[in-house]
């Protein structure tokens, strides 16, 4: 009986794995460039972890189960709660500021669709204990630095940035009660995905006061932070949040990524725990989901039983990213599944022992090396070496039998030369 893979998951054959490594290696390189340290956590956690962060409704979006000890557990759908738990557990021992990144494998019990699978990889970057827009700018910079490294330009992608702190202050200034903010955030977050009529109808149900609803609609259409005072009277909390947002954009310009960034009041982010800057990176054209998103979440550690410490971060999934890179012609279907320093070709059965021994020696010296499993024509063996993206082939043939010499062939140029076996080893170790 043939058993298929589970819907919404992927089999990583070597060619597919090469794509995954291309993406993940780029994520890690960008993290290292910006001074982040890597961490990871368990693949499952207590279900309560996710209920604390996202509410009871999250349960239906998780793969959750009860273990033999009666504990309710869930396979992680994200790693931010794990980050909060881990930091809280050693809060007094960790050097600050904390700059961590992770590339976890995550699962969500959702209906698979374009750019959204049940199992996926996500790059997370977080900065903890820096209460300054510079940390927010650094998170955005790190995301855009990676995306630029793939070949994407400001004509391809855009970071849309807003402030939950600013939005909250503005909504309260027009009379929206604080207890109604969270459900309103969820609605405003859907605005760009809904027809205008549908959004207006839902807003009318959420905000019965017609004047308040009209001012909210006007606010969501603002194109520049400088235009906000013309729409809503600015009180002190809103003024402070607006100045903070303007400072963020100045920092982004200073970092050389201003062309990639724009203000967008419609970026709200549906999760309740955001407290300040929020952003999403989108493709300029097309109908793809956000490539990545994040923001400031200063209350998260406190919500998990720790102190109230400033925090900001972002997450980028591999599924939407891969689609975009393919659409832009920036992801090859012929990425090498392996790259060898040396491939040992053996033309005579009696020389195979020496070829095997040399292969092992090269590996112990730190080189990547492989060896033919049985003798065959040289052309066939060189094809195997080429398929393995080998830098140099080492040919065991008549020269080895007569003079203890190897033939080194440069697989890129085709040049080859003869060298004594002992001299070859001496050159490698000198």
Q: Sort 35 into a burial class: Cβ within 10 Å, 0-12 / 13-18 / 19+.
A: exposed
Distance CA 41, CA 79 (A): 8
Q: Sort 119 into a burial class: Cβ within 10 Å, 0-12 / 13-18 / 19+.
A: middle
Contact 384, 372 (CB under 8 A): yes
Residue 307's nearest CA partner among 89, 82, 37, 54 is: 89
The domains spanning 14-41+79-327 and 340-429 adopt the same CATH topology: no
Q: What is the pTM of this model?
A: 0.92
At 56, list the tokens.
């009871």
Rounded (10°) angle between helices 181-189 and 196-206: 180
Distance CA 28, CA 104 (A): 12
* Bridge partners of residue 163, in order along the sequence: 277
What is the domain partition of the chain in residue ranges?
Answer: 14-41+79-327, 340-429
Distance CA 265, CA 282 (A): 15
The class that CATH gives domain 340-429 is alpha beta
Distances (CA, A) of 49 to 3, 84, 249, 260: 33, 10, 34, 35
Model pLDDT for residues 309-363, shown as the tens digit of each residue: 999 999 999 999 999 999 999 998 889 999 999 999 999 999 999 999 999 999 9
Domain 14-41+79-327 has CATH 3.10.20.30: no
Model pLDDT for residues 70-94, shown as the tens digit of each residue: 999 999 999 999 999 999 999 999 9
At 221, list the tokens.
């259409």
Q: How many residues does the chain have?
A: 430
Model pLDDT for residues 222-234, shown as the tens digit of each residue: 989 988 988 888 8
Residue 132's nearest CA partner among 299, 289, 276, 260 is: 276
The alpha carbon dihedral of 151, 154, 156, 161 has a sign of positive
- Where does the pLDDT of residue 190 fall: very low under 50, low under 70, confident under 90, or very high at 90 and above? confident
Distance CA 292, CA 280 (A): 6
């Amino acid at each position: 009986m043939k058993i298929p893979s589970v819907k919404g998951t992927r089999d990583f054959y070597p060619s597919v794995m090469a794509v995954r490594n291309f993406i993940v290696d780029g994520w890690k390189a960008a993290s290292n460039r910006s001074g982040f340290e890597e961490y990871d956590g368990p693949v499952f956690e207590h279900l309560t972890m996710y209920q604390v962060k996202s509410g009871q409704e999250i349960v239906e979006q998780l793969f959750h189960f009860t273990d033999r000890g009666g504990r309710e557990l869930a396979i992680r759908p994200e790693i931010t709660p794990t980050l909060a738990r881990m930091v809280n557990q050693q809060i007094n021992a960790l050097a600050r500021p904390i700059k961590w990144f992770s590339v976890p494998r995550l699962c969500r019990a959702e209906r698979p669709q374009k750019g959204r699978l049940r199992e996926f990889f996500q790059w997370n970057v977080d900065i903890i204990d820096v209460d300054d827009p510079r940390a927010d700018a650094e998170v955005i910079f790190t995301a855009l630095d990676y995306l630029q490294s793939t070949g994407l330009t400001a004509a391809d992608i855009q970071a849309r940035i807003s402030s939950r702190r600013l939005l909250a202050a503005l909504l309260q200034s027009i009379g929206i009660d604080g207890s109604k903010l969270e459900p309103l955030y969820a609605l405003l977050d859907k605005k760009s995905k809904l027809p205008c009529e549908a959004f207006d109808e839902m807003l009318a149900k959420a905000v019965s006061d017609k004047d308040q609803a009209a001012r909210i609609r006007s606010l969501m259409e603002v194109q520049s932070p400088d235009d906000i005072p013309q729409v809503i009277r600015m009180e002190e909390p809103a003024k402070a949040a607006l100045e903070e947002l303007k400072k963020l954009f100045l920092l982004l310009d200073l970092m050389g990524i201003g062309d990639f960034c724009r203000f967008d009041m419609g970026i709200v982010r549906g999760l309740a725990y955001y407290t300040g800057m929020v952003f999403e990176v989108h493709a300029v054209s097309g109908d793809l989901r956000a490539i990545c998103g994040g923001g400031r979440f200063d209350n998260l550690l406190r919500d998990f039983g720790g102190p109230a410490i400033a925090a900001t971060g972002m997450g980028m999934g591999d599924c939407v990213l891969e689609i975009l890179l393919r659409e832009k012609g920036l992801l090859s279907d012929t990425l090498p599944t392996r790259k060898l320093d040396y491939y040992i070709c053996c033309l005579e059965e009696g020389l195979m022992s020496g070829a095997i021994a040399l292969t092992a020696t090269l590996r112990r010296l730190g080189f990547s090396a492989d060896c033919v499993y049985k003798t065959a024509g040289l052309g066939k063996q060189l094809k195997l070496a080429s398929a393995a993206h080998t830098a140099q082939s080492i040919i065991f043939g008549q020269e080895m039998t007569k003079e203890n010499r190897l033939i080194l062939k440069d697989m890129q140029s085709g040049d080859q030369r003869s060298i004594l076996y002992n001299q070859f080893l001496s050159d490698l170790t000198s």
